[in-house]
Structure 1
Amino acid sequence: MRKAFISPTKYVQGEDELLNLGYFVKTFGDSALLIAHPDDVSRVKEKLDFTINKFNIKLVESDFHGECSREEVARLQALATEYSCSCTIGLGGGKAIDTAKCVAEGEALIIVPTIAATDAPTSHSAVLYTPEGAFDDYAYFKQSPSVVMIDTTVIANAPTRFLVSGMGDALSTYFEARATSRSYSNVNAGLPCGVNEGVCAEAKGTKTALALAKLCYETLLEDGVKAKLSSDRNVVTPALENIIETNILLSGLGFESGGLAAAHAIHNGLTSLEGTHHYYHGEKVAFSTIAQLVLENADKAEIQEVITFCAAVGLPICLADIGVVHMSDEELMEVAEKACIKEESIHSMPFPITAEAVAAAITVADQIGREFKISKGM
C-alpha cells in the first residue's frame, strides 16, 4: 500500500515573529516579491520596515489586486522576473496566500497569514478564480511552502470571528481523516494526477496524519473557549498559541495528509444556497461536520460533544446559523446532489453514499442543533 505525507519545510510561530521575516528571505537571497492586500501591509508596516532594515533586504510591493486569477498570477510572475526577486511572500488571508503559491509554483515560498481562519497556509494546493471572482480551477504544486511564519501578535489583534471560523474548519479534520482511514481512500498528499506521467498518483494516509488530526480535535476541546476569550481581549496566551497552531498546522497537515470526506463536500453543496454566502468557510464546515456525524450514525455522545463545543465558541449548529432560515425540498436535494458529485470527497466515507441519505443527514443535523438551542435557551 502506498502512503504519503506532506508538510512545509519549516513552520514557526511566536509573538512579533514577523520581525524575523528578513532572516528567512536571506536564506533565498536579498529580495522578495510581497503579495499582500494594501490593508494587510499597512497593519504590519512597522514590523516590515524593521525587518527590511535589520536584515538589509528588499521587499517588492506588488499592488495585489485581490483575486487569485490566472491574469493576476501572470502579472505578478512578470513583476518577480523584472525585479529579480529571490523568493515570494504571501502575506494576509486566503486569496493572497493562494496567489503567492501560484506565483512561486512550489519554489522559495514564504507564507505569512495575518488571520487564523483556515488551514490553507501549509498546503501545496491553491484555488484559482476568474478576475470577477467565480471559481476557475484547483492548482497543485510539487511541494508545500518553504516557510510558514505566524506572528501570533498579529493574529491576536485580528477580529475574533476569523479565529472561530478557523476552529470550525479545524473541527472537521479528525472526523474526515477518520472516515478516510476507515475507507482506505486516497489523500491529497499523493501526487496530483498528471503531474508526472507514469508515476502513481494514488496514496493513502499515514498513521502520523491521523494522530495529528486527532490531536487537532483534542486541542480544540481543551483550548478553544480560552483562545476565543484571549482573542476577544487581543492578547496572546498559551491557549491562543495552541489554537493558532491547531487551526493552521494541525488542521493543515491533517486535511492534506489525512484526507477529506463528507463535511467539506456538504459545505460545498451548501454554497449553492444564497443565504450562506455571508458566512465564512469554517462556519459552514462546522455545521457540515455535524451533518457528517449524523450521516455516519456516530455515537450520540460524540455528536453532543461537538455541538456543545460549537455552541461554546459561537460556531453554527443549525441551518439558520448559516443564513438558511427556510429551505425547500428541491433546494435541499440540490445541496445534497452537489455534495455527491463524482469528484467530491464525500465518497471517502466508508460506506455507499446517496443524495437522499445526505439530504436526510442535513435535515436531522439541523433538527438536533435547533433542539439543543431550545434546551439551552439560546
Structure 2
Amino acid sequence: MAVTVISPSRYVQGRGAMNDLGMYAAKLGSKALCLISAGGIDRVGERIEKSFAQSEAPVVFEKFNGECSRTEIDRLVKLVKEQGFDVMIGVGGGKIFDTAKAAAYYAGIPVAICPTVASTDAPCSALSVIYTDEGAFAEYLFLPANPNLVLMDTEVIAQSPLRLTVSGMGDAMATYFEARACVNSGAGNFAGGTVGVTSFGIAKLCYDTLVSDGLKAKIALESQALTPAVERIIEANTLLSGLGFESCGIAAAHAIHNGLTQLPECHHMQHGEKVNFGTLTQLVMENVPEEELTEMLDWMIAVGLPVTFAELGVTDTSREHLMPVADAACAPTDTLHNMPFEVDAEMVYNAMIAADTYGRRALSAKR
C-alpha cells in the first residue's frame, strides 16, 4: 500500500471566524441548507444570517432530529432534492457533522462544517458514524472525500459547555495510541493506504499538545477565557486528531466505545468520554509500562475525563452485563482487529474490569 494522507480542502480557525461563513459558502454553492439544532439557532443563528447577508447565497435553517441515523439522512437528502439546495452546512456538534456529511454525499453536493463545540474529531474526516434511531452504533460510512470547508470560531467554542471540550480531549488522546497500534500491526488507514511519517507525526503532535496544554485550557475554559492554550486544544481536538486518526487508523479505543453504546445507561455520555475509557482499556490490553499508565490516568483525572464504569453511569459490572460490550467491540468489521496481537471478547472484558479497577484506585489516591 502507498503512504496516503487526506484532509479537508480548507481549515479555518480563529476568533470571529463564523462571521465569514456566508462568504465561504458562496464559493461552494448558491443555495445553502444549514443543519442545526434549536439551541444552535439560539446561540449563533443571528450571526450566521448576518454572514450570509453579505453574500449572494441564501441560507435556510433545518433543525436536526437528534440522531445520525439512516432515517435522518434520508429525510435530508429528500429535502435537498425537492428544494434545490446545492451546498450543505452542518453547524453544532459531532452527530450533526456526520449527518450533514452523509446527506451531502448522497445528494451529490459540497459540505461545509462549522462546529460550535470542540468535542470530537468528526469535523475534518471523510467518515460518518451511523447509529440506529435509538442511539446504538450501527456502522461506519466511508465517504469519498473530506469536507470542502471546516470553520472553527474559537470565540463561540470557548463559550460552549466545558464538558464538551474536555470530551474532545478524550477523543483526541486516543489518536496517538491507536495510531501507534496501527503502525505496530501494519494496519491500513481510512485513506486506503499505509501510515507515513507525516501522519504519525501529526498524531504524536496531538498527544504532545494535549499533555502540555490540556489542563491549562480546562482551567481557562472554566471562566470561558479564550487563551493560547485553548486555541491549541481546539486545534488538537479537531484538526490534529482528525488528520491523525484518519491517516493513521483507529484500533481498540474506538471499538470499545462502540461496544459501550450497547448499554442504555451510557447513552447520555459524550463520545469522547466513552472513547477515553476505551483508551484506558487499550493501554491495559497492551500491558504498557506502569509509568505510562500512571501518567495517562493522572492526565485523564486532572482534565476531568471518566476512568471508571461508575463515572460512565454503569453500576452493574457483572460479567453478564458487560460481555455484550466486549462482544460488540470484537465485531468482525470493527477496528479492534487493528491491534498488533490477537484479541477476543474475553480479553476485552478482563481489560475493561482491570481498567475500572485502576481508575478507582487512581481516583481514591487523589482524594
Gaps of 5+ in 1: 191-202
1:307 counterpart = 2:297: yes
Gaps of 5+ in 2: none
CA shift, 1:23, in A, is 1.4
SS of residue matched to 2:187: coil
Q: Matches of residues 1-378 of structure 1 in structure 2 within 5 Å?
A: 1-105=1-105, 107-131=109-133, 133=135, 135-190=137-192, 203-377=193-367
Q: Is the 8 A contact 1:156 1:230 kept in 2?
A: no
Hey, what's the Cα distance between the residues in 2 that align with 1:71 and 1:352? Answer: 36
Hey, what's the Cα distance between the residues in 1 that align with 2:50 and 2:21? Answer: 10
Relative distance call for 1:20 and 1:312 in structure 2 (3 A) is same
What do residues 57-91 of structure 1 show as CA deviations (whole Å, max 9, x unaligned)? 31022243333343433443343344433311111
CA shift, 1:49, in A, is 2.6
Q: Which residue does 1:195 correspond to in 2?
A: none
Q: TM-score, normalised by structure 2?
A: 0.94
Hey, what's the Cα distance between the residues in 1 that align with 2:70 and 2:263? Answer: 27
What do residues 155-186 of structure 1 show as CA deviations (whole Å, max 9, x unaligned)? 11110000011111111110000000010011
Hey, what's the Cα distance between the residues in 2 that align with 1:155 and 1:210? Answer: 27
CA shift, 1:207, in A, is 1.8
Q: Is the 8 A contact 1:294 1:365 kept in 2?
A: yes
Q: Is the 8 A contact 2:137 2:258 kept in 1?
A: no
Q: Is the 8 A contact 1:117 1:282 kept in 2?
A: yes
Percent identity reads: 47
CA shift, 1:278, in A, is 2.4
Q: What letter corresponds to residue 376 of structure 1 in structure 2?
A: K
Hey, what's the Cα distance between the residues in 2 that align with 1:271 and 1:129? Answer: 9
Relative distance call for 1:51 and 1:70 in structure 2 (3 A) is same
Hey, what's the Cα distance between the residues in 1 that align with 2:119 and 2:318? Answer: 31
SS of residue matched to 1:341: coil
CA shift, 1:131, in A, is 4.6
SS of residue matched to 1:44: helix
Q: What letter corresponds to residue 95 of structure 1 in structure 2?
A: K
Hey, what's the Cα distance between the residues in 2 that align with 1:137 and 1:40? Answer: 27
Relative distance call for 1:238 and 1:82 in structure 2 (3 A) is same
Q: What letter corresponds to residue 329 of structure 1 in structure 2?
A: R
CA shift, 1:256, in A, is 1.1
SS of residue matched to 1:210: helix
What is the CA RMSD across the aligned residues, in angstroms?
A: 1.8
SS of residue matched to 2:267: helix
Q: What letter corresponds to residue 11 of structure 1 in structure 2?
A: Y
Number of positions where the alignment pairs a residue of Structure 1 with one of Structure 2: 365
Q: What letter corresponds to residue 120 of structure 1 in structure 2?
A: A
Q: Is the 8 A contact 1:107 1:146 kept in 2?
A: no
